[in-house]
Amino acid sequence: MKRPLAYVAGTGRGIPAKVMTNHDFAALGIETSHDWIVERTGIVERHIAEPGETTAHMSAEAARTAMQRAGVTAGELDAIVLSTATPDRLLPSTAVDLQAMLGATRAAAFDLSAACSGFLYGMTIGEGMIATGVAETVLVIGAEKMSSIVDWQDRATCVLFGDGAGAAILRRTKGSGNQQRGILSTFMRSDGTLAELLWRPGGGAKQPFCQDVLDERSFYVKMAGREVFKSAVRSMAEACDRALDGAKLTGNDIDILIPHQANVRIIEATAKHASIPMDKVYVNVDRYGNTSSASIPIALDELVEQGTVREGTTALLVAFGAGFTWASMVIRF
């Protein structure tokens, strides 16, 4: 196990107030049912941002709580790494809006695109910046307004996603007393040959906005659900193994598994593979749906708030998303 170089000093979340239940789809004319959604995914409700409620706004709420819990001021942030698949605009980044909102005058700020794995990618980048001496304090955010990119006419995808943001403050581990506190291992992978199984084909630089893009609705999320499901189960299992190996731990050493919240069946398969009983697995997909890169930091913040994650807790975090990308991390708090 490597000596931890960075630790989580504080967490926060920013969740839209508006809740949409499975029953609310009927009013939109979508042919689905509460029972179908619960049985296939475990989702009961999700939060949906109002039109003026942006990815940056949700991020700012999450960031302010995380900074307060960490005892860090905006002026102390050296970098803001913001993972999102739903930036408020394409240029410049949502991270710079957040930088301005917080008044983080010394911070570098940039967006990161790794879909649902983005928060763990961001944490790994933040740790690297701290390890190389580029930064002492990094704000890592996962924030998504998925409701703005799902096709509300496609029942196979629109029932799955939700909006929200989560944040963590990473700081340099100091001294010898808390040497075991922090990120114990990291793992990241990708496979772009499978990009078309979960993507937004139109509206980017390859096919800029035009009538065809609008007619084909190709700027919305398209997903081959079954194939994504199979890859997610396989990749999250690999990611668990690699993070545990890296930390020289087994599933028995893990106090809590914090998986990406896409589907309760994927979560159960992941836990089973890692030999972690379900009473040590955090599930909140029933209340949030899939919030992509926000799902892990939202879950982490809830766990901190309820006292499940506290000093000494060893957590395994694991994610899978479009790309495909997958990632994992063991953190001792």
Task: Decide if residue 98 touches ligand ACO (CB under 6 A).
Answer: no
Cα radius of gyration (the chain): 19
Residue number with CB closer to ligand ACO (191 or 212): 191
Task: Decide if residue 269 touches ligand ACO (CB under 6 A).
Answer: no
Q: Could you tell me if 326 and 238 are in contact, meaning their C-beta atoms sit under 8 angstroms apart?
A: yes
- Strands (E) across 122-206 are located at 137-145, 163-172, 182-190, 198-199
Task: Decide if residue 41 touches ligand ACO (CB under 6 A).
Answer: yes
Classify strands 79-83 and 108-112 as parallel, antiparallel or unpaired: parallel
Q: Could you tell me if 159 and 22 are in contact, meaning their C-beta atoms sit under 8 angstroms apart?
A: yes
**Burial of 305: CB neighbours in 10 Å, binned 0-12, 13-18, 19+:** middle
User: Can you tell me which of 9, 81, 109, 115 binds ligand ACO, judged by CB under 6 A?
Assistant: 115
In order of 151, 155, 319, the CA distances from 26 in angstroms are: 15, 11, 31
Phi, psi dihedrals of residue 46, rounded to the nearest 5°: -145, 160
Classify strands 325-332 and 182-190 as parallel, antiparallel or unpaired: antiparallel
Is residue 260 flagged as an active site residue? yes
Q: Could you tell me if 270 and 318 are in contact, meaning their C-beta atoms sit under 8 angstroms apart?
A: yes
Task: Decide if residue 225 touches ligand ACO (CB under 6 A).
Answer: yes
DSSP string across 27-57: GGT----HHHHHHHH---EEE---TT--HHH
Q: How far is the CB of 117 from ligand ACO (least distance, A)?
A: 9
Q: How far is the CB of 101 from ligand ACO (least distance, A)?
A: 26
Is residue 116 flagged as an active site residue? yes
Cα 316 vs. chain centroid, distance in angstroms?
Answer: 14
Q: How far is the CB of 79 from ligand ACO (least distance, A)?
A: 25
Catalytic residue among 57, 240, 263, 290: 290
**By rule CB under 6 A, what string of x and - marks binding of each residue 310-329 to ligand ACO?**
----------xxx-------
Our CA angle for 313, 315, 321, nearest 5°, is 160
Instruction: Please identify the residue of the shown chain whose CB is closest to the bound ligand ACO.
Output: 225
Q: Kind and range of the H or E element at 256? A: strand 256-259
Catalytic residue among 116, 158, 240, 263: 116
**By rule CB under 6 A, what string of x and - marks binding of each residue 121-160 to ligand ACO?**
----------------------------------xx--x-
Task: Decide if residue 290 touches ligand ACO (CB under 6 A).
Answer: yes
Q: Compute the distance between CA of residue 234 and CA of residue 244 in angstroms, rounded to an integer.
A: 16
**Segment interacting with ligand ACO (CB under 6 A) among 33-41, 57-65, 75-83, 239-247:** 33-41
**Segment interacting with ligand ACO (CB under 6 A) among 53-61, 88-96, 100-108, 223-231:** 223-231
Task: Decide if residue 239 touches ligand ACO (CB under 6 A).
Answer: no
User: Can you tell me which of 5, 19, 24, 32 binds ligand ACO, judged by CB under 6 A?
Assistant: 32
Positive or negative: CA dihedral 112, 114, 116, 118: negative
Task: Decide if residue 247 touches ligand ACO (CB under 6 A).
Answer: no
Task: Decide if residue 14 touches ligand ACO (CB under 6 A).
Answer: no
Q: How far is the CB of 284 from ligand ACO (least distance, A)?
A: 14
* In 132-224, alpha helices (H): 155-158, 211-216
Residue number with CB closer to ligand ACO (249 or 269): 269
**Catalytic residue numbers, as ranges:** 116, 260, 290
Residue ranges in contact with ligand ACO by CB under 6 A: 32, 36-37, 40-41, 115-116, 155-156, 159, 198, 225-226, 228-229, 232, 262-263, 266, 290, 292, 320-322
